[in-house]
Structure 1
């Protein structure tokens, strides 16, 4: 990923940030819906989306959880403004990165990430931070393009299965037990979808 693309999509600002938000709102919509559909959400679920971008996924979560708590964290003020125009007024938006989430331990029943884990500053530490804000038994749903994760994190992973194996191990080290994982064709690319639950034994790696 070029430095220009990383800046525009990782921390959108100014005109390029607004353009990036427009692109993400259209380009990520199907992946947002797929990972939201993969989680066992109910009307009163407390759910957080990290790196919510223009707010497409947050709007879906607000529709699924009308009696719950829907919150989002994104480090970009441009994305916060774009999302605010897209989501209901009751959705809680904060300008914050995944490395320092401003909620107490065990706040959420579920956390969602779509197309941004490849941009997290420290994947092992950031997964532990996500685990911290999940209640015991809570769910994490991750969607990400295989090419983006390979380029940013594991360039030596030849196959999509290897990427899923490595992500599974990282999740396990953070106290998350993978429940389902899938590599699905998406146009000319492949999207990876993983759901995991907070493991009651921190550090356990799923088999």
Structure 2
């Protein structure tokens, strides 16, 4: 689709026209069938070859991914603006393809696509419905913390909120009770040792 060369309103945009030409080092063997100064042009999406001239599909495949980006306006610091030579895909061929921007061409959106523009100015329906249904009092109640909620000791991260009656005091054990318990444990150990000694004596006696 060829656009007008005169800028217009009506959702217009601009693309660069391109010229892609073959650069061959003098005296070198060229493997892709190209000749020095072979070229094609790009006008919008249309690729045009001069009458009677061919072009290698492999060379064309190497340069095609860059053409749409080269047609767009880019920052002068972008490598797409400054780099223009593409090597031949045959590693044994020293030729290059040079992409040159030759001029700006203006297009109208309606001539290139039927996809409608997104309405970016309108807010999302979900956001609008939420803002209408949520009152000021709702916002305040969401942020309010109930003061009657019992809180655990903040110094310990292991505790959570529980009712006060669920917390039971820990019973203290006196030193005397601890001593009696240890004595009973020691007596049990000694009794077990005496039984083992008696069994060893009987085994030795009965042979």
Which structure shows the bigger proportion of residues in strand conformation? 1
Which structure shows the bigger proportion of residues in helix conformation? 1
TM-score interval for Structure 1 and Structure 2 normalised by the shorter chain: under 0.3
> Which one has more relative contact order, counting CA pairs under 8 Å at least 6 apart?
2
Q: With the length of structure 2 as denominator, give the TM-score of the two structures.
A: 0.21
